[in-house]
Amino acid sequence: MTETNLRRADVAALVDHTLLKPEATREDVAATLAEAAELGTYAVCLSPSMLPVNSGAQKTCVVVGFPSGKHHSLVKAAEARLAVDSGAAEVDMVIDVGAAVAGRYDEIFADVITVREGAGDAVLKVIVESAVLLDTIGAEGLAEVCRQAAAAGADFVKTSTGFHPAGGASVEAVRVMRAAVGDRVDVKASGGIRTAEFAAELIAAGANRLGLSGTAAVLDGFPE
């Protein structure tokens, strides 16, 4: 058990319980919804083709432009609108990571603001693939991408899809992202979070939402 003041229920209330495997079936979705309810997570995060669902007390979150981000912005916006019309309360979009690596920050802004319009009143989280950006354009580049996302109307900046070989969330990334957006925008850490210790470190660094697939194992490391 990790040494922390965080309690299991408090951490569960920060979690998007996630099922994004390409091979996921509707039976898997039903099991994920049931597990989210049992664990008391904030939301469930699903592929948009799995909607509509009855997520009960949990918010329904979907991914858009996932996982590459290489979809046209108008396609991402249409995907977001369809998801919201099908019951999604939150939308996690992927940016064009290549545009960010090339320093074309205006394209990041345009991409996000287009999806912002499509998502309407839904919570919009912007996935930046922080591990890639730290490796290529460094902390300042990552920070600028987050600033552009915030300026375009994002409610969250999010570390990772969890599908990129460069890696998922890191404490360094969360610190950079939190410093970049201050209190204007929230920060979601996702990708490779498998222990309570790591989850607690990410929360301490500034994450106020966690994307987890192995949620039960992580929550088991926190005291009741």
What distance in Å separates the CA atoms of residue 169 and residue 141, rounded to the nearest whole number? 16
Coil, strand or helix at 44: strand
Question: Among positive and negative, which fits the CA dihedral 160, 4, 181, 61?
Answer: positive
Of 92, 96, 111, 155, which residue is the catalytic one? 92
The partner residues of 156 in beta bridges, in order of sequence, read 125, 186
Which residues 6+ apart lie within 8 Å of 218 measured at CB? 11, 15, 193, 194, 195, 196, 199, 210, 212
Cα 140 to Cα 143: distance, rounded to the nearest angstrom: 5
Question: Is residue 158 annotated as a catalytic residue, yes or no?
Answer: yes
Q: Which of 120, 106, 119, 91 is nearest to 151 (CA)?
A: 106
Name, in order, each residue with C-beta under 8 angstroms of 185's C-beta and a sequence gap of 6 or more. 146, 149, 150, 154, 155, 156, 157
- Active site (annotated) includes residue 188: yes
Q: Which residues are catalytic?
A: 92, 158, 188
